[in-house]
Amino acid sequence: MMRDMSMHIMDICQNSIKAQARHIKISVVEDAARDIFSFTITDDGCGMSPELLKKVRDPFTTSRTTRKVGLGIPMLEQTCQQCGGRLELESEVGKGTTLTAIMGFHSIDRPPMGDIGASLLAMIIPNENEGFELVYEHKRSGKTFLLDTAELKAALDGVPMSEPSVMQWISGFIKEGLDELYID
Ligand SMILES: Nc1ncnc2c1ncn2[C@@H]1O[C@H](COP(=O)(O)OP(=O)(O)OP(=O)(O)O)[C@@H](O)[C@H]1O
Ligand SMILES: [Mg+2]
């Protein structure tokens, strides 16, 4: 099964949400000159014990109850390795987790970005009333795109993000912001 980058990112964020995270920060860095593509996802969820952290790259490690394999982390690690990179994980119980996926920028196996806007909306909208905040930061060729749900909520002044016109505006904001990054 071929996953694009936005699906990988969403998978990892779903882990953070399952871990009761209140804050998620996604930071994407594209550095063609240094041949590095990376994303880091930091959460303040329940964290993992050293024992769990040691075996989490194994597909048979999961806290899922509906099936016996957890694939999010192993599949992402496989993608990183296929692209000449690696997966780094740091976690502390009660503090949270930081995951960094590193890939070769120029690797032909590097998955396309996919629909980041749709993935972000799918995480933000269902969690908007849960005191949940997400920051998405994307750097490319000296430019930065930033989306911060806390800022967005303040600007919306009580209008729900699930309002169709608001959702449409957010998705346009993300699309235009990312398009801007890719203009060289
Ligand atoms: N951010 C996190 N915080 C706390 N625990 C985590 C986090 N990410 C992963 N884990 C733990 O690692 C396990 C494996 O994660 P992985 O994404 O590989 O599989 P899964 O989430 O169990 O299943 P799938 O991703 O296929 O739905 C999770 O079940 C969870 O126990
Ligand atoms: Mg998962």
pTM of the full structure: 0.95
For 148, how many CA atoms within 13 A lie in the half-sphere containing its CB?
6
| Best of 3, 16, 73, 89 for a ligand 1 pocket test (most atoms within 8 Å of beta carbon) | 73
Measured CA to CA, the distance from residue 134 to residue 120 in angstroms comes to 9
How far is the centre of ligand 1, averaged over its atoms, from the C-alpha of 58 (Å)?
11
Ligand 2 centroid to residue 14 C-alpha, Å = 6
Q: CB neighbours (10 Å) of residue 133?
A: 19
Among protein residues, the one with the nearest Cα to ligand 1's atom 23 is 70
Q: Kindly give the number of the ligand 1 atom that is closest to the alpha carbon of 97.
A: 1
Residue 181's contacts (CB-CB under 8 Å, 6 or more residues apart) are: 138, 140, 141, 143, 145
Tens of each residue's pLDDT in the chain, 184 residues = 578 999 999 999 999 999 999 999 999 999 999 999 999 999 999 999 999 999 999 888 777 777 766 789 999 999 999 999 999 999 999 999 999 999 999 999 999 999 999 999 999 999 998 889 999 999 998 999 999 999 999 999 999 999 999 999 999 999 999 999 999 8
Q: What is the pLDDT of residue 64?
A: 76
Architecture of the domain made up of 5-181: 2-Layer Sandwich (3.30)
Query: Residue with structure tokens 């990054």?
Result: 181
Three-state secondary-structure class, residue 148: strand
Q: What is residue 127's predicted lDDT score, i.e. its pLDDT?
A: 92
Taking the C-alpha atoms of residue 67 and residue 82, their distance in angstroms, rounded to an integer, is 26
Please report, for the chain, the start and end positions of each structural domain, with discontinuous segments joined by +.
5-181
- The Cβ-side half-sphere exposure at 69, using a 13 Å CA radius, reads 6
Mutate to test the pocket of ligand 1, among 7, 44, 56 (most ligand atoms within 8 A of CB): 56
Residue 1: predicted pLDDT: 58
Ligand of minimum distance to the alpha carbon of 99 = 1
Strands (E), the chain: 23-31, 36-43, 86-92, 96-104, 133-140, 143-148
- The bridge status of strand 133-140 relative to strand 23-31 is parallel
Q: How far apart are CA 162 and CA 169, in angstroms?
A: 11
Neighbours of 170 (CB within 10 A): 20
